[in-house]
């Protein structure tokens, strides 16, 4: 029998009233220690996600519902995404690097150092349509052996970086975060949203023509117990963000218009399925899924 829980939407603004979907949320898998980084592969109709403390990545098959290992050990991989060619981009906390898995299965290191010093522990990544890879680099993977390998921090701070698609150089684009985490581009890629988990807020920055960031401003602030993590946009420009035990939905003007509530602490999410209207949520010990009348933003390879 399918493991399901009743769907619980909270409508906080009339703009969320038309959001609907299945009456139940499916629990596709349970048994992880800290689920993270879901990424959907449309060509193969499967989803990959991370189980950080267990140093593994898992694969869920959309046709059969079967779950099996994708990569173990995984370098304590956290966030994942796809580039313009459908290749897997991963943030390996334990190996302190950002990698790309090629179509033949080999792994290319995109970034592991900045100015000769090792990165802290890359957390989440997003790819822009120009091919640049942007990632956050907090210190969760080196602060203990739970999510990585305890080590000394070589860089003075936790920053946001951009990897140039031509030169491969990693450059700091924002250096005033405590624990930068999830990030996402607006539909026109003129804005970059970045969560700061420790400060419990999301900031938004203007992206300039030369790939740098303008001055940021607070986009959203969480209440106690609502530290922000991963984020995705739908095709109307609304921002869906993991925060505590709910997925928050924000209008582009910054208004919190609604929530999807779940029984576990949520780490990250992604839209997938044939029409990008199936929301997958990685939360604590489980992977959840719900079909919505909302469609995810068009990916960079589409």
| pLDDT tens for each residue of the chain, 302 residues long | 569 999 999 999 999 999 999 999 999 999 999 999 999 999 999 999 999 999 999 999 999 999 999 999 999 999 999 999 999 999 999 999 999 999 999 999 999 999 999 999 999 999 999 999 999 999 999 999 999 999 999 999 999 999 999 999 999 999 999 999 999 999 999 999 999 999 999 999 999 988 999 989 999 999 887 899 999 999 999 999 999 999 999 999 999 999 999 999 999 999 999 999 999 999 999 999 999 999 999 987 76
- 268 annotated as belonging to a binding site for a ligand: no
What pLDDT, on a 0 to 100 scale, did the predictor assign at position 224? 82
State which H helix or E strand residue 142 sits in.
Answer: helix 140-143
- 78 annotated as belonging to a binding site for a ligand: no
Q: Before 73, cis peptide (omega within 30)?
A: yes
163: its two tokens:
């990897």
52: its two tokens:
């950080």
What pLDDT, on a 0 to 100 scale, did the predictor assign at position 302? 64
113: its two tokens:
């150092």
CATH 2.120.10.30 corresponds to the domain 4-291: yes
88-92, strands of its sheet edge to edge: 77-82, 88-92, 97-101, 107-111
- 265 annotated as belonging to a binding site for a ligand: no
As a residue count, the chain comes to 302
8 A C-beta contact, residue 245 and residue 260: no
- 120 annotated as belonging to a binding site for a ligand: no
8 A C-beta contact, residue 204 and residue 228: no
State which H helix or E strand residue 141 sits in.
Answer: helix 140-143
Q: Cα(210)–Cα(104) distance, rounded to whole angstroms?
A: 33
> Which phi and psi (to 5°) does residue 264 adopt?
-120, 160
pTM score, whole prediction: 0.97
CA 172-51-110 angle, to 5 degrees, is 30
- 36 annotated as belonging to a binding site for a ligand: yes
State the catalytic residues: 229
With a CB cutoff of 8 Å and minimum separation 6, the contacts of 129 are 84, 189, 300
- Count Cα neighbours of 108 within 13 Å in the Cβ-side half-sphere: 10
């Amino acid at each position: 029998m399918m493991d399901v829980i009743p769907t619980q939407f909270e409508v906080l603004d009339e703009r969320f009233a038309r959001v609907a979907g299945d009456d139940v949320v499916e629990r596709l898998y349970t048994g992880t220690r800290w689920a993270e980084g879901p990424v959907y592969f449309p060509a193969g109709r499967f989803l990959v996600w991370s189980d950080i403390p267990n140093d593994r990545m898992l694969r869920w098959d959309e046709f059969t519902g079967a779950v099996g290992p994708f990569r173990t050990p995984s370098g304590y991989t956290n966030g994942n995404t796809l580039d313009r060619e459908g290749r897997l981009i991963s943030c390996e906390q334990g190996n302190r690097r950002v990698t790309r898995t090629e179509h033949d299965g080999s792994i290319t290191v995109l970034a592991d150092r900045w100015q000769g010093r090792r990165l802290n522990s890359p957390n989440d990544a997003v790819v822009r349509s120009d091919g640049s890879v942007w990632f956050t680099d907090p210190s969760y993977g080196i602060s203990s052996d739970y999510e990585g390998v305890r080590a000394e921090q070589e860089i003075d701070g936790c920053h946001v970086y951009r990897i140039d698609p031509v030169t491969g150089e990693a450059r700091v684009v924002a250096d005033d975060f405590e624990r930068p985490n999830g990030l996402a581009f607006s539909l026109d890629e003129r804005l970059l949203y970045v969560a700061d988990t420790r400060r419990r807020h999301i900031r938004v920055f203007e992206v300039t023509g030369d790939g740098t960031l303008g001055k940021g401003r607070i986009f959203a602030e969480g209440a106690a117990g609502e530290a922000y993590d991963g984020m995705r946009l739908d095709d109307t420009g609304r921002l869906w963000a993991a925060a505590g035990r709910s997925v928050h939905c924000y209008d582009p003007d910054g208004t919190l218009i609604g929530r999807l509530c779940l029984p576990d602490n949520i780490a990250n999410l992604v839209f997938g399925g044939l029409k990008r209207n199936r929301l997958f949520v990685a939360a604590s010990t489980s992977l959840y899924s719900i079909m919505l009348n909302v469609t995810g933003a068009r990916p960079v390879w589409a």
